[in-house]
Amino acid sequence: MYKVTSEIYEETNYNPVKADNGRVLSKFQFKYPPEDDDTTAYNGVISDEDGDLVVRRKSVSGPGGLIKIEHSEATELRLVGLQVWRGALLLADYIFHKRNEFRDKVVLELGAGVGLTSIAAAIYAKKVVCTDVNVGGILDLIRENIKHNLVLLHKPNNIDVLEFDFLKPVQEYYPALLEAIDICDVVVAADVIYDDDLTNAFIRVLDVLFERGKLSGKDKTAYIALEKRYVFTLSEMDTVAPMFEYFLKQTLNKPWLFEYIETDFPQYFDYDRRRHLVLIKVVHIK
């Protein structure tokens, strides 16, 4: 059976230790943002309190920590959530960068995989709800990964783990999931766009979240991180990113506002931040 492997394992040494169950336990190192940082960003320009421009460097020095994650090193396509992908680390970086905006927020992660981004969010966020479809024992694996990192959390028990199957209609959502959707302020998702059927389902889920936000008066902001994966096609006679292009095409007529966030913000986690990484902020147009 054909298997895929996340590129990050070959690029960075996460000191993996093999477990008896065939998975590995890796250590994802990071640097904490400086708490005494008094710079402010306005329209992408960063200045200090005197109004002088501050040149941000990509890497950050300072006190460090690590997130311990148990994961698979290679899986078939339907189980890629059991691995760690670059988009999860980009989202974690962004949450650290915008930590003050996340401190009083309830964050809902869709397609969370092994839970790295949710754990990173829980270092700062008021509450995190970590969700995925329960295949390959992934929900139990997320719970184990949370236990590995309890010392990092903003406060005890501020992460809930729930099943969220994108393919189910909203009529089959169970009460705890509907409550999580209704109370969340921010929705995050990393590398969930790699199959047309799943992309369609993901778009329907965003429709549901935005609609319930309108009805409840609690508007949602979504952040979607992904890596454009380019292939050469004879039909186009060019190199294209078909999954990304398909997502854009399917959302053309949605009442959504897309904002492409520049990915030159500081890097707190150890990985190769590629130029093909994309971070999109999506809100519903009132």
DSSP per residue over 9-71, as a string? HHHS----EE-TTS-EEEEEEEEPPPTT---EEETTEEE-TTS-B----SB--S-EEEEEEEE
The answer to whether residue 278 sits within a structural domain is yes
d(CA 279, CA 258): 10
Residue 209: domain span: 80-284
Domain total of the chain: 1
Task: Please calculate the CA angle 84-89-95 and round it to the nearest 5 degrees.
Answer: 140
User: Is 104 in contact with 183 (CB distance < 8 Å)?
Assistant: no
pLDDT at position 230 is 53
Give the mean model confidence (pLDDT) for residues 124-144.
Answer: 97
pLDDT at position 37 is 52
pLDDT at 2 over 90: no
The answer to whether residue 35 sits within a structural domain is no
pLDDT at 244 over 60: yes
Least confident window among 52-61, 131-140, 220-229, 273-282: 52-61
pLDDT at position 86 is 96
Pairing of strands 231-233, 221-227: unpaired
pLDDT at 1 over 70: no
pLDDT at position 51 is 47
Give the mean model confidence (pLDDT) for residues 157-171.
Answer: 96
The answer to whether residue 53 sits within a structural domain is no
Ramachandran area for residue 142 (φ above 0: left; ψ -120 to 50: alpha; else beta): alpha
Residue 175, SS3? Answer: helix
3-state secondary structure 203-218: HHHHHHHHHHHHHHCC
Give the DSSP H or E segment for 280: strand 277-284
The answer to whether residue 131 sits within a structural domain is yes
The answer to whether residue 258 sits within a structural domain is yes
User: Is 118 in contact with 92 (CB distance < 8 Å)?
Assistant: no
pLDDT at 236 over 60: no
Give residue-wise pLDDT tens across range 99-112: 999 999 999 999 99
Q: 253 to each of 46, 52, 95, 215, 256, how far by Cα in Å?
A: 34, 42, 29, 21, 8
Least confident window among 8-12, 56-60, 160-164: 56-60
Sequential DSSP letters for 67-82: EEEEE-SSB-GGGGGG
Give the mean model confidence (pLDDT) for residues 31-49.
Answer: 55
Least confident window among 29-43, 78-92, 174-188: 29-43
The answer to whether residue 160 sits within a structural domain is yes
pLDDT at position 61 is 64
d(CA 146, CA 129): 12
Give the DSSP H or E segment for 277: strand 277-284
pLDDT at 47 over 80: no
Give the mean model confidence (pLDDT) for residues 187-211.
Answer: 95
d(CA 258, CA 44): 17
d(CA 146, CA 123): 11
pLDDT at position 241 is 60
b/e per residue 153-179 (b: at least 16 CB within 10 A): bbeeebbbbbebebebeeeebeeebee
Indicate the pLDDT class of residue 194, thresholds 50, 70 and 90.
Answer: confident
The answer to whether residue 134 sits within a structural domain is yes
d(CA 99, CA 31): 13
Q: 238 to each of 147, 172, 226, 231, 249, how far by Cα in Å?
A: 46, 42, 21, 8, 18
d(CA 127, CA 117): 13
Task: Please calculate the CA angle 107-109-114 and round it to the nearest 5 degrees.
Answer: 130
Pairing of strands 221-227, 186-190: parallel
The answer to whether residue 34 sits within a structural domain is no
d(CA 263, CA 94): 9
**Helix, strand, coil fractions of the chain, as percent rounded to 5:** 30, 25, 40
